[in-house]
Each structure stands twice: as C-alpha cells, then as structure tokens.
A and B are shown apart, each in its own frame.
Chain A
Amino acid sequence: MITLENVSKTYGSGPQAVHALKPTDLHVAQGEIYGVIGLSGAGKSTLIRCVNLLERPTTGRVVVDGQELTSLGRQALNHARHRIGMIFQHFNLLSSRTVFDNVALPLELMGVAKREIRERVQPLLDLTGLSDKHDKYPAELSGGQKQRVAIARALASRPKVLLCDEATSALDPQTTQSILDLLKDINRKLGLTILLITHEMEVVKSICHKVGLISAGKLVEEADVGDFFTSPSTRLGREFLNAFLELDPPQALIDRMEAKPGPQTHPVVRLAFTGDAVSTPLISRLARDCNVDVSILEAKVESIQDRTLGLMIAELIGPQEKTQQALAYLKSHDLQVEVLGHVRRNA
C-alpha cells in the first residue's frame, strides 16, 4: 500500500548538507500497522513527511495505493492526498472551528456538498466517541478528545492510508492506550493501512504488526513485532528493548562485573524465552544435568500481542568448565542467551 524506494532527504548542499534521511526502502502492506521507532532526531519525522510529500524527497520514489506521488503535479498531488489521512502530535485542530466543522474541513476542501458533509461527519463522530461534542470548540476538549477529533477529521475523506506522527506522544499513558485502541479498532473495521512513527516501545508493542528501527537517518532493522521483541537483531534494537523491559542487572552487580571470564568468576546471563521454551522447566534441568547452581537475579514475563516472552537475569555458579557447558546447553535450546559479564563470587 505504501512503498518507498530509495527515498532520501538532504537539507542544504555542500559541506553544510544535512542528510536527514539516507536512501531508504520501506514497504507497508495493505491493512498493516507499521511502526517506525527511533530516538528524536533519527529521521522519523522526515520519513513520514516524505510519504505524503509534505517533505519532497531529494531522491527516490514514493508510491501510495499504486500511484506514484513523486511524479504527480501539484493538483494531482492534492487529489492523492485526499486518500492519505494524517494525525499529529499536537493535533493541529483549527481553534476557530467547532468539532463538527473541524471534521468537515477535509470534505469542504474536496468540494463535497453541505448535505453530504452532514451525513458523513456524524458517523465519524460516533466512531470516535465524540457524539456529544459536536458544537464544542477544541479549547474546551482534553488532549485525548482533541486527538479523537483529529482522527475523525483524518478519516473524513475515506483515506486508504493513515499516517500518525507521534500521535500519542503528548498524551498521558491512559489516554495513549485509549487512542491506540481506537487506531487498532479502525484498522480492523475499515481495513485502514497505518504507518506511525513513535519513540515509545509501548505503542509498537500494543498495536503494530511490523516495526522498523531508524537511527541517524537509516532504517537499521525491520521485523515482525513478535520477533523484534523477542530477538532484536541490532545493538540499538536490544537497547530499546532493554530500556523498555527495564531488565538490567542490579547496579551493585554491574559494578563488580568483568568483561573476561577468569578462573574464579561466574557468568551473568540474560535469557529470553519465547514459544515453547517459556513452558519448559529449563532452569531446574540446567541445575540437574549440568551440575551448576542458578541464582535468579530478576525475572519477568511479558505478553507481546499473541506471544509470550519470558525474561531472566541469572548467575550461573560452578566451576568454569561446568558453567561453559551450561551455556552451551542453554544455547542449544530455543532461547536467546546473552552473557552480560562475569563476577567474582565473594566466598
């Protein structure tokens, strides 16, 4: 539904040039919710603005719903934009218009007749839970309600694609969840394809099917959300995940940790279980079969959509050859093993 081919954006030229987005390929399938995650300044905003050409890419092609936007003239582009809704971090509602008139705006721009506008706006207000807010002005609404108006407005032109630019970043966690539920709902009900950018893993976790990780203007990792949350393939992906899961060893242990194993040290490992491994009594088998003691420092279980992820930080205690054997045993099973370091045991 959305295809970016070799799309890049450079501001300025010569030595002062800023490469906000390096040549990027991206594909979002029909009906999919695709999340692009990255730190601020990574190029997320530029990327999403290139999709509807709010930013004209320096190179590359943008194809939305089979139409190559980058080849269109001004008028045809405005036409194509009617089929692409967009919502923003700061809602961008017109303060001079009521809720109803804000939602009606895109239809007015398209030249839809007054009566048809009335018929089309009301169901959108119902869908977004704003039926009783009709004649209110944006200043009278809460942040969550404003974003609902913005969503209703974005849907008014019956778009095929919805672009969400940090749509929940200005909202509190509870409101964020209700907006995400609404987005998920319209994705299912209307079969709407959604491309969103965010810096919050929570957003990706709760509604996205696929995720792309962007860093320094480059899409460095792309995966199904289930895979990303269980085994990110890049360092940055792991950092995002660990920060999100808040699963790091206690600081006192980190301070004592050494990078290389020695004769008197024990490995500290982070284990991530997915699929069948979650229900296998692996730790007790490890103790029995490899003859090592396992000291569990931290553990938690997360559900990522339909998948379960078990996480554990543990210290393997025993003679070096036994702990090496234990690591090999763990790695032979369907789980992620990461050796964080080695600690000297205080006898």
Chain B
Amino acid sequence: MSGAMLELILMATLDTLYMVGISGLVAAALGVPLGVLLYVTRPGQILARPALNGILGIVTNIGRSIPFIILMVAIIPFTRLVVGSSIGTNAAIVPLTIAAIPFVARLVEGALNEVSPGLIEAAQSMGATPYQIITKVLLPEARGGIITGLTITVVTLVSYSAMAGAVGGGGLGDLGIRYGYNRFNPVVMLITVAILVVMVQGFQSLGDTLVRKADHK
C-alpha cells in the first residue's frame, strides 16, 4: 500500500472522528434539554404542559422518521445557512446533528422515566422547585441511563457518517465506498471497516466505563 493511501486513510479517520465528535456534542447539548422537556411537561409531571408536550412529541417523531440520506439532502438550504456551504465535512455535521437531537431526546426521556416517581415526591415534600428537582434529582439519578443513551447515539453517528460522502463530507465510510467498492480495492475496504469496528468498540467501552462510575444502584 502506498504512503498516499495511508495518508488518505488517516485523514478519513480524523474526518469521521471530527464529524461524530462535533455532531455528538451539539446533539447532546440540545437533545438532553429536549429530552428533559419531553419528560417534565408530560401530563401529571412537575411542569405538566400537555399541549406543549404533544407538539414536542410530534416534532421529535418527525425528526426520527425521516431517513438520514433524505434528511441530508432536504435540509441543504439550512445547512448552507449555518456553515456557509452545502458540501464538505462541515456541511455533513449539520444533518448529522439534526438527526441525532431527537434520537438523544427520546433516549434521555426514557432514562428519566426510569427514575422512581417516589424520588420526585420526596423532593417535592422537601420544598424543591421544579428546577431543583431536574438538576438535583432527575438528572443525577438518570445519569447512567443518559450516558448509555449518548453512547448509543455516538455509535449510530459513526454509521450515519458513512453516508456523509453523499455531500462530499469525507470520512471512512466515504473512503470505503469510493476506493474499496467503486475501484475494487478490497484491502482499503477491509481497513476502513476494521477501523470503524475498533472505533465503535472504543466508544462502547468508554461509555460502559462511565456508566459504571456513574451508577450506584
């Protein structure tokens, strides 16, 4: 294998990490609050707003039902607005993030759902405000579940990022398709897949370790 090929593989690996890293961070920053909102505005919950909850639920479901490849193309005008271009690695980050936000939100909502209602009641009996219940009870108690959800999200983003080639985003998946598949180079194909496997394993072990540290159940 040529040095140029190795460099391509290295660059593609960095591109994938970059896309997954940025979109994962932004999706967590926006998806966690959305998940909390989905949970606390449920009927009977501490900030019950059934109408708002219904709207948020529908929007979240729409976001989750659009196939990623279609989403990526459909939001090109928005992507251009945000990063100034509709092609390239940065342009791929926008749809990746948009796809991941509702994904994170539902996983966070599910994690919060696992917190015993008795804990919320106990906090209310101590005179906790809704904000205090969220920050001191719900989020810390659901920490393990939230980290599990974020790990799943990152792994999903790794596989979604393979489609980034469609907008010239680069990354390992793109490399595998262009060199491995289109140019019949099974070695490149195998190497890219192998790197992706190692990457997913790494994220998963990191997530598991963090969950173990966070959970005292």
Spell out A's residues near B (CB within 8 Å): 52, 54, 77-82, 84-86, 88, 90, 92, 94-97, 105-106, 108-110, 137-139, 157, 163
Given A109-B132, A137-B216, A139-B217, check contact A94 B140 (CB 8 Å): yes
Are A109 and B119 in contact (CB-based, < 8 A)? Answer: no
Give Cα A82–Cα B126 distance, bound, in whole angstroms: 6
Are B126 and A88 in contact (CB-based, < 8 A)? Answer: no
The majority secondary structure among interface residues of chain B is helix
Are B216 and A95 in contact (CB-based, < 8 A)? Answer: yes
CB-defined contacts of A78 to chain B, threshold 8 Å? 127-129
Q: Is B122 an interface residue, CB under 8 A from the partner? A: yes
CB-defined contacts of B128 to chain A, threshold 8 Å? 78, 109
Given contacts A88-B118, A92-B118, A109-B136, 7 further A-B contacts (CB under 8 A): A78-B129, A79-B127, A81-B124, A81-B125, A82-B126, A84-B125, A86-B126
Report the minimal beta-carbon distance from A96 to chain B, rounded to whole angstroms: 4
The majority secondary structure among interface residues of chain A is mixed
Q: List 21 A-B contacts (CB under 8 A).
A: A54-B124, A80-B127, A81-B126, A82-B126, A82-B127, A84-B125, A86-B122, A88-B118, A94-B119, A95-B217, A96-B140, A96-B143, A105-B123, A105-B126, A106-B126, A109-B126, A109-B128, A109-B132, A110-B127, A138-B216, A139-B216
CB-defined contacts of B129 to chain A, threshold 8 Å? 78
CB-defined contacts of A95 to chain B, threshold 8 Å? 141, 215-217
Q: Is B137 an interface residue, CB under 8 A from the partner? A: yes
Most buried by A among B116, B136, B216: B216
Give Cα A82–Cα B132 distance, bound, in whole angstroms: 14
Task: Count B interface residues, CB 8 Å.
Answer: 22
Are A54 and B121 in contact (CB-based, < 8 A)? Answer: yes
Given A54-B124, A86-B125, A95-B216, check contact A105 B136 (CB 8 Å): yes
Which residue of chain A has the shortest Cβ distance to B216 in the bound complex? A137
Closest 6 interchain pairs by CB? A81-B127, A78-B127, A92-B122, A137-B216, A86-B125, A96-B140
Give Cα A54–Cα B124 distance, bound, in whole angstroms: 7
Which residues of chain B (130-148) have a CB below 8 Å from chain A?
132, 136-137, 140-141, 143
CB-defined contacts of A138 to chain B, threshold 8 Å? 216
Are A54 and B125 in contact (CB-based, < 8 A)? Answer: yes
CB-defined contacts of B141 to chain A, threshold 8 Å? 94-96
Given A109-B136, A139-B216, check contact A92 B127 (CB 8 Å): no
CB-defined contacts of B126 to chain A, threshold 8 Å? 81-82, 86, 105-106, 109, 157
Report the minimal beta-carbon distance from A195 to chain B, rounded to whole angstroms: 13
CB-defined contacts of A79 to chain B, threshold 8 Å? 127
Give Cα A86–Cα B122 distance, bound, in whole angstroms: 7
Which residue of chain B has the shortest Cβ distance to A110 in the bound complex? B127
Give Cα A245–Cα B91 distance, bound, in whole angstroms: 78
Report the minimal beta-carbon distance from B56 to chain A, rounded to whole angstroms: 23
Which residue of chain A has the shortest Cβ distance to B122 in the bound complex? A92
Give Cα A139–Cα B217 distance, bound, in whole angstroms: 6
Which residue of chain A has the shortest Cβ distance to B126 in the bound complex? A106
CB-defined contacts of A77 to chain B, threshold 8 Å? 127
Give Cα A163–Cα B124 distance, bound, in whole angstroms: 13
Report the minimal beta-carbon distance from B47 to chain A, rounded to whole angstroms: 12
